[in-house]
Chain A
Amino acid sequence: MIFLFYLLSAIMIFCALLVVFSKNPINNVIYLILCFIAMAGHYILLNAQFLAVVHIIVYTGAIMVLFLFVIMLLNLNKAIIIRKSTVTRISAVVTGGIFFLVLLAATRQTFEIKAKYPFNSEIGLVSGIGKTLFGEFLLPFEISSILFISAMVGAMMFGKKDA
């Protein structure tokens, strides 16, 4: 188990780095897909089979297909090198560094959270998620569905030519 964890983590970090450093947009997307698949593997290690499969269906099977689709249609198969001014670069480094600090602070808290909520192996299965969503988080769940519908209607409004 622990070996699988390290293997998956290594694949994930390697692919995530290549997403950033690879110059060809198509390769970026493919490494991101690999990264997502490795993440689904992590879900399976946590006994969250439902989350793993939904992750693959939604992110790998739908969203990344659209990403690939757009890149293929735009035919961005040449490596692109974007030159930015020094001010932009420095501010990007500073923002990235601050974000890293926030993440570091957040991971420090995980030990306390882990002590408060012990690991429940049923949490990622269908019944566990269903009971949580339709019990404890019913209102936010329903409100987010309204949000989705409004987003869909909005997308259709943009799609119509004479709107």
Chain B
Amino acid sequence: MDFSTLIFKAIFLFIILLVTLVVAMYSTYAERKVAAFMQDRNGPNRAGPFGLLQPLADGLKMFMKEEIIPLTANKYLFILGPSIAMTTALLTGVVIPWGDTLTIGDHVYSLQMADLNIGILYVFAMVSIGVYGIMIGGWASNNKYALLGAIRAASQMISYELAMGMSIIALVLTTGSLSLHDIVAQQHGMHWNVFYQPLGFFIFLICAFAETNRAPFDLPECETELIGGYHTEYSSMKLGFYLFAEYVNMFISSAVIATLYFGGYNMPFIDQLGLSSNAVTFIGMAFFFIKIFAFIFLFMWIRWTLPRFRYDQLMNLGWKGLLPLAIFNILATGTYYFFTSLK
């Protein structure tokens, strides 16, 4: 790795971080606007034009609030909880291919921080570590509601990780690679994986909802039963970190879904336009972000449409519905490739 690549990577990493945070910030605004639209209200419209400065005002409010750590809480773990939640949420972005290659001078730079040959599994590992943020925070609060929320979150995430992993196995059978770069490159020209793995896509989508703790799977923070769930005792920016990590997770999981099943930065008919490679890269990147925003909107649409699951319904869906379906999907995919490879 030469010096210019290193500089490029450093700048690129900073941009990814910035974009992730800004998108997550404006997702909070979008969420409130979408909710308002669905409930026939105006939503935030006081701070700035169309209420566009609302996220900044919210952030400022979070920083200015008094910080309270309960006397009976375990102080170190109480602070560790939100830190883990935020860190693992941000770490996933480094393996996602945000665009094709960029040519500056005679150097070709890849718009992906790290092309690990086990990219999908890395995403999966970060998701599985993310549970600790909620569990440790919920336990350290020394509050029974927080503990119940944490236990619900952990059992929900473990249950849905299984079906998610199984749907990824079927995807890997079709692509033959675990590297996100290869998976996106293979989907060039409308060969999107969603057409080859429709069942796998639905399972993955549902599990993504459950993993990000979004409605209808938001039992861990179910306010009618558990006050605030695992963040009951949190205040100030530590609460902000938990809430913000949820939006970062939503952004990243939308990006992962778009990468795995909807062709990533590939745009149909882009080759016919006859543009230079840099222009293709930028248009592809813009198209990738359009896909991501579409999924973020889907997340919000479902949140404001469906009521919350009951706990036994959640477990039944995970273990008796999605897991057998995912195993069937693997069997069907495996059989199909076995017989097509015989010819």
- Of A10-18, A54-62, A84-92, A106-114, the one contacting chain B is A54-62
Assembled-state Cα–Cα distance A72/B128 (Å): 18
Complex: A26 Cα to B142 Cα, angstroms: 13
In the docked arrangement, what's the CA distance between A66 and B117, Å? 29
| Pick from B124, B139, B147, B158: contact of A65, CB under 8 Å | B158
**B122 cross-chain contacts in A, Cβ below 8 A:** 53
State A68–B139 Cα separation when bound (angstroms): 10
Tell me the bound Cα distance from A93 to B305 in angstroms: 63
How many inter-chain contacts with C-beta < 8 Å in the A-B complex? Answer: 66
Known contacts A126-B117, A126-B118; decide if A62 and B158 are in contact (CB<8 Å). yes
Q: Which residues of A contact B125 (CB under 8 A)?
A: 53, 56-57, 60-61
A60 to B130, CA, bound (A): 11
For A69, list chain B residues within 8 Å (CB).
135, 151, 154-155
Q: Is the interface of A mostly helix, strand, loop or mixed?
A: helix
Residues of A within 8 A of B142 (CB): 77
Instruction: Judge whether B129 and A26 touch: CB under 8 Å.
Output: no
Interface residues on A, range: 20 to 34
Q: Is B222 an interface residue (CB 8 A)?
A: no
In the complex, which residue of chain A has the Cβ closest to the Cβ of B178? A126
Contact with A along B117-149 (1 / 0, CB 8 A): 110011011011101100110010010000100
* B154, A65: Cβ atoms closer than 8 Å: yes
Within 64-113 of A, Cβ neighbours of B (below 8 Å) are at: 65-66, 68-69, 72-73, 77
Judging by beta carbons under 8 Å apart, are A65 and B132 in contact? yes
Least Cβ–Cβ distance between B226 and chain A, in angstroms: 15
Q: Does A125 contact B (CB under 8 A)?
A: yes
Residues of A contacting B77 in the complex (Cβ-Cβ under 8 angstroms):
26, 30
Assess the A49–B116 pair: CB atoms within 8 A. Answer: yes
Q: Mark B94-134, 1 if CB is under 8 A from A, else 0.
A: 00000000000000000000001110011011011101100
Collect the chain A residues with CB atoms within 8 Å of residue B210's CB: none
Q: What are 16 A-B pairs at a CB distance below 8 A?
A: A26-B74, A49-B116, A50-B121, A53-B122, A57-B121, A57-B124, A61-B125, A61-B161, A65-B132, A65-B135, A68-B136, A68-B154, A72-B150, A73-B151, A77-B139, A77-B142
In addition to A50-B117, A54-B121, 16 A-B residue pairs with Cβ atoms within 8 Å of each other are A33-B132, A50-B118, A53-B122, A56-B125, A57-B124, A57-B125, A61-B127, A62-B128, A65-B132, A68-B132, A69-B154, A72-B147, A72-B151, A77-B74, A77-B142, A126-B117
> Interface of A with B (CB < 8 Å)?
26, 30, 33, 49-50, 53-54, 56-57, 60-62, 65-66, 68-69, 72-73, 77, 125-126
For the complex of A and B, 3 pairs with smallest distance between CB atoms: A61-B128, A56-B125, A53-B121
